[in-house]
Amino acid sequence: MKRYIGIRIVYLLLTLFIITTATFFLMKALPGTPFDEEKLQQLPQEQRQMIYASYGLDKPVGVQYVNYLKNIVKGDLGTSFFYTGQPVKDIIMSRIGPSALIGLQAVLLGLAIGMILGIIAAYRHNSGWDYATMIIAVLGVSVPNFVLAALLQYFVGLKWGLLPVAFWESYPSSILPSIALCVGVIALIARFVRTEMLEVLEQDYVTTAKAKGLGFARIMFQHVIRNSLISVITILGPIVVNLLTGSLVIENIFGIPGIGSLFVDSIKMNDYSTIMGITIFYSAFYVFVMLIVDLLYGLVDPRIRLASGKE
Amino acid sequence: MTQMDNVDALFKPAAAKPDEREKISGKSLTAFQDSWRRLRQNKAAIVSLVILVIMLLLAIVGPWIGHHDYYSTDYNAVYQKPNADHWFGTDKFGRDQWARVWQGTRVSLLIAVLAAALDLVIGVAYGAISALFGGRVDNVMQRIVEILTGIPSLIIIILLMMVMKPGIVTIMVAMSITGWVNMARLVRAHIMKLKSQEFVLAARTLGTSTGRIITKHLIPNTIGIIVINTMFTIPSAIFTEAFLSFIGLGLQSPMSSLGVLINDGFASLNTQAYLLLYPSIVIVLIMVTFNILGDGLRDALDPRMRK
Amino acid sequence: MDNLLEVQDVQVSFFTYAGEVQAVRGVGFSLGRGETLAIVGESGSGKSVTSKSIMRLLAKSAKIKHGSIRFEGKDIASLPEKQMQDIRGRDISMIFQDPMTSLNPTMTIGKQITEVLKKHRKLGGAEANRRAVELLDQVGIPNPDKRLKQYPHQLSGGMRQRVVIAIALACNPKVLIADEPTTALDVTIQAQILELMKKLQQELDTSIVLITHDLGVVANMASRVAVMYAGKIVETGTVDEIFYEGKHPYTWGLLASMPKLHEKSEELTAIPGTPPDLSDPPKGCPFAARCPYAMEICHEYMPEYTEHSETHRAACWLQDSRAPKVQSPLAGGDRP
């Protein structure tokens, strides 16, 4: 087990390394500069040099790279070009709140609803419930979340005036965005749980459980559902990706001051250091979640946890 | 005794009927025939197929059968609601939306299909080589894939889009650079599974050459997985293109793609909802039909679901 | 003769989208106290379906169309599910073929045993564990207290099957239905498991319905045998009657196809052909197409049972007085 963890961590670091390197060189390859070129050219040579130097842009690329890596290890993600002078790290930290709240709500809501739908659909295979769930699942992955967000905004927000549609004023501001974000999660989970459960219901040990005379509830909870849910852990990875990308759009539409909208703005403003910073942040987060998922799965499935061999 | 009379005569030996001994009542079907039959019974999949074909046809002929082309501006006809002349209305430059929507569909589908094709070529090659060679080669190739899957692909796509000049080719390339990994994993896993199955062992025992095993046994059984995966890659690519355009990294006006149209339409959501409505309906329909068809194909080709 | 289990004219069909498949077409047998009845037949003969229908464990697409199943005099074929649950595991238990998949991989052995005890015997936690350890010991598993906390994948195939038996016998049921309990095991382990079952049967006075296709197992364990073919029982009798005085050509075929160590013959005798398709069963005797003694009447009408003794009966037109006399090809065989 320890070896397993060790290997996963090595991969994590390797992946992060590759991402940061790729990000760095891609940023360097970008056409244009983050500065306002007109004004810059009006300055005398020395001052231009000074400005470059203050951002570390005067040194050769190789050196910049090494400095960059050193800084990252220290936790310093550079300073923003757009929000002049502000450390990227601080900017990110100040905007984590809204993103985290919406993300968490979306995950919990999505998990809960998705699992319930999936379980019922599998149990009532080929019934009305089943088809309804499958339809929701398909729509959930096919309707792009910006379309859904637009619809929610339009109907629930504007026409019916039930919930706030934009900006971050109070808790209710997070409701519509969370709903828009959780639909994708529901779709993924419902379909997955349904498939897993259908397979489990076919297994011999479920027949054995029935042959023991156990009641319906016990069979469902102890035998069927437990085994079906274990594998839900494996799709947490794609779900996280879903949320990350979704947040870019959702925060944009609903005007939420989160990391997603920061990312989109930085792209529009060519704020390289912020873009890099957020890329690293997202990647680290994703990789970290994958690590937790792997660990969790190893813990929860006794076949992996106790692969100590037979006697 | 029950109601049997005059049967004494029947107590003589019956003529042997060797065919009766081995009679099989059902019709024999090849794997493909059986799958096709199952797919046909899946009503949702058939309906999806029909809708998809209609969409494809419209995408091909749509821009030509309208009254206008997709890029000409007409400042006398801005922001028109759908009418007899402009079937889907016009945007703020007076451009005909009917033409733009179908032109956009063309472009989006083109990008998606080409990206999926690129995915397929790279992914299948990589996965197949990895699985067929096995051993060290496989090990190394798999380590690389594992690391690549650890990278959230959308981030890479976004970065790539920033670096390269916006255009159809760049979007395709960006999507394929990260997309092939999934196909490679699936193909490799599938071939590994097939390799170790007994029918391959049986073929070997009968003296079948490796080449023939690959062509007659491994490939036909893998086509299913490849097709199904492609069915799901396409909507994913359409979504990615739309998404990129939405955050400003994809195609730009006056070019038309579903993403561009949705982006433009979004800006005037309150006042000209139809600008967003039609491209949204088209994109949702395309994605839904591809997904349902993909699901249907997956169920139809799964031998376990054979009844 | 008060029988523990009386099955009469049971018909079970599966309703698939391809039509109705008549898996069991009028099966009847009885089981007394302490007896072991073996149900023998090829794959697809309907023996598993029969046993599952006794326990009412059939898939949703299957229906018991006709017949009665009486346990201790009461008809259980139409019992409400709740009451059936009381009977399962407590009065009638069942074990299945594959010990690898019969146990829940994510639940400890201990929990899987105590589940039954808690449900039927209402034992508390500590007591249930104690009893579970006793049971594991009884089925011959070393270090039973350590095993309680282990998971199925940590045990070998033979041990898993012992656990399965322990679970089935935990509440001392009157009837144990064993569906091919040794088919998935190595031959040496097979022998051990059979010995274990015989020992437990004596200790607990359990009646066993043993489903198998292996005549060797039948000879080892059974007191009576029912031979099934294409959804019907073609012959029933004691082990001796079936092995040495078999009256049905299918029985002869089965016995002849067993390889015998001491005889030196070049070929194995096989019964040519395959069983009929049960979505379209033949109207006459199901074995007629493959029977070397088939008469015209065999293809037209289903034979009825002829009683040869109190325990022995066979359904074959050869028994009819109008049929030519046929001698069993096994006549004069080695009888000790």
Q: Using the predicted structure, report yes or no on whether residue B100 has a pLDDT greater than 70.
A: yes
Residue A112 domain-assigned (yes or no): yes
Going by pLDDT thresholds of 50, 70 and 90, the confidence category of residue B306 is: very low
Tokens at residue C226, please? 């029912």
Q: Which pLDDT score, from 0 to 100, does residue A98 have? A: 85
- Mean pLDDT for chain C? 87
SS3 C113: helix
Residue A90 domain-assigned (yes or no): no
Query: Touching check for C297 and chain B: CB below 8 Å?
Result: yes
Query: Average pLDDT for residues C92-108, to the nearest whole number?
Result: 90
Q: Which pLDDT score, from 0 to 100, does residue C133 have? A: 93
* Cβ pair A310:C156 closer than 8 A: yes
- The answer to whether C102 and C96 are in contact (CB under 8 A) is yes
List the Cα angle A74/A78/A83 in 5-degree steps: 145
| Interface subset of B 135-174, CB within 8 angstroms of A | 146-147, 150-156, 158-160, 162-163
- Model confidence pLDDT, tens digit, residues C257-280: 877 666 666 667 778 888 888 888
Q: Using the predicted structure, report yes or no on whether residue C335 has a pLDDT greater than 50.
A: no
- The answer to whether C168 and A210 are in contact (CB under 8 A) is no
Query: Touching check for B69 and chain A: CB below 8 Å?
Result: no
Low pLDDT (below 50) residues in chain A = 308-311
- Model confidence pLDDT, tens digit, residues B163-199: 777 778 888 888 888 888 888 888 888 888 887 777 7
* Cβ pair A146:B243 closer than 8 A: yes
Q: Which residues pair with C20 in a beta bridge?
A: C15
Q: Using the predicted structure, report yes or no on whether residue B45 has a pLDDT greater than 50.
A: yes
Q: What percent of chain B has pLDDT over 90?
A: 4
Of A14, A142, A286, the CB nearest to B287: A142
Ranking B63-72, C106-115, C305-314 by mean pLDDT, the lowest is B63-72
Residue A156 domain-assigned (yes or no): yes
Domain range for residue A111? 97-269
The ipTM value here is 0.84
Which contacts of B70-73 are long-range, i.e. CB under 8 A and separated by 24 or more positions? B70/B95, B70/B96, B70/B99, B70/B100, B70/B102, B70/B103, B70/B104, B70/B256, B71/B95, B71/B254, B71/B256, B72/B96
Which subunits sit against A, judged by 3+ Cβ pairs under 8 A? B, C
Of B14, B22, B26, the CB nearest to C298: B14
Residues, chain C, total? Answer: 336
Give the contacts of C178 (CB within 8 A, at least 6 positions apart).
Answer: C94, C95, C197, C208, C209, C210, C211
Residues of A in Cβ contact (< 8 Å) with C184 = none
d(CA A287, CA A12): 6
d(CA C193, CA A288): 49
Give residue ranges of A with CB < 8 Å to any C CB. 203-205, 207-215, 218, 222-223, 226-227, 230, 301-303, 306, 308-311
Which of the listed ranges B5-19, C43-57, C262-276 does the model predict with the highest average pLDDT?
C43-57
* Cβ pair C89:A215 closer than 8 A: no
Residue A65 domain-assigned (yes or no): no
Which subunits sit against C, judged by 3+ Cβ pairs under 8 A? A, B
- The answer to whether B25 and C280 are in contact (CB under 8 A) is yes
- The answer to whether A164 and A174 are in contact (CB under 8 A) is no
* Cβ pair B247:A139 closer than 8 A: no
- In C30-120, which ranges are continuous DSSP H helix? 47-55, 81-87, 99-102, 109-116
* Cβ pair B10:C295 closer than 8 A: yes
Residues of A in Cβ contact (< 8 Å) with B156 = 22
* Cβ pair C301:B14 closer than 8 A: no
- In B134-218, which ranges are continuous DSSP H helix? 135-149, 153-163, 168-195, 198-205, 210-212
Q: Which pLDDT score, from 0 to 100, does residue C336 have? A: 46
Q: Using the predicted structure, report yes or no on whether residue C1 has a pLDDT greater than 60.
A: no
Residue A222 domain-assigned (yes or no): yes
Give the contacts of C82 (CB within 8 A, at least 6 positions apart).
Answer: none
User: CA-nearest residue of chain A to B158?
Assistant: A267
d(CA B274, CA B115): 30
- Model confidence pLDDT, tens digit, residues B245-288: 887 788 877 788 888 888 888 877 777 778 888 888 899 999 98
CB atoms within 10 A of CB B96: 27
Query: Average pLDDT for residues B54-81, to the nearest whole number?
Result: 81
Tokens at residue A118, please? 């999936």
Which site among A125, A206, A212 would you substitute to test the C interface, given the most C Cβ atoms closer than 10 Å to its Cβ? A212
Q: Which pLDDT score, from 0 to 100, does residue C165 have? A: 93
* Cβ pair A230:C106 closer than 8 A: yes
Tokens at residue C85, please? 């649950």
- Comparing A285 with B71, the larger pLDDT belongs to A285
* Cβ pair B288:A268 closer than 8 A: no
Does residue C249 have a cis bond before it (omega within 30 degrees)?
A: no
Comparing C-alpha atoms, which of C130, C225, C50, C160 is closest to residue C168?
Answer: C160
SS3 C306: strand
- Count of domains forming chain A: 1
Going by pLDDT thresholds of 50, 70 and 90, the confidence category of residue B1 is: very low
Residues of B in Cβ contact (< 8 Å) with C298 = 14
Q: Which residues pair with C226 in a beta bridge?
A: C39, C236
CATH at A164: 1.10.3720.10
List the Cα angle A276/A277/A279 in 5-degree steps: 65
Query: Touching check for C326 and chain B: CB below 8 Å?
Result: no
Q: How far, in Å, are B122, B129, B132, B181 from residue B135 at the CA level?
A: 21, 11, 9, 20
Q: Which pLDDT score, from 0 to 100, does residue B196 have? A: 77
Going by pLDDT thresholds of 50, 70 and 90, the confidence category of residue B26 is: low
Comparing C-alpha atoms, which of C180, C145, C176, C139 is closest to residue C160?
Answer: C139
Residue A85 domain-assigned (yes or no): no
Q: Which residues pair with C180 in a beta bridge?
A: none
Q: Which pLDDT score, from 0 to 100, does residue B20 have? A: 62
Residues of B in Cβ contact (< 8 Å) with A11 = 146-147, 150
Residues of C in Cβ contact (< 8 Å) with A215 = 85, 119
Tokens at residue B5, please? 């009379």
Does residue B303 have a cis bond before it (omega within 30 degrees)?
A: no
CB atoms within 10 A of CB C216: 14
Residue A235 domain-assigned (yes or no): yes
Tokens at residue B195, please? 């390799």
Residue A142 domain-assigned (yes or no): yes
Comparing C-alpha atoms, which of C173, C174, C152 is closest to residue C163?
Answer: C152
- Model confidence pLDDT, tens digit, residues C301-332: 888 888 888 889 998 888 887 777 877 776 55
- Comparing C97 with C17, the larger pLDDT belongs to C97
Q: Which pLDDT score, from 0 to 100, does residue B16 have? A: 63
d(CA C41, CA C27): 13
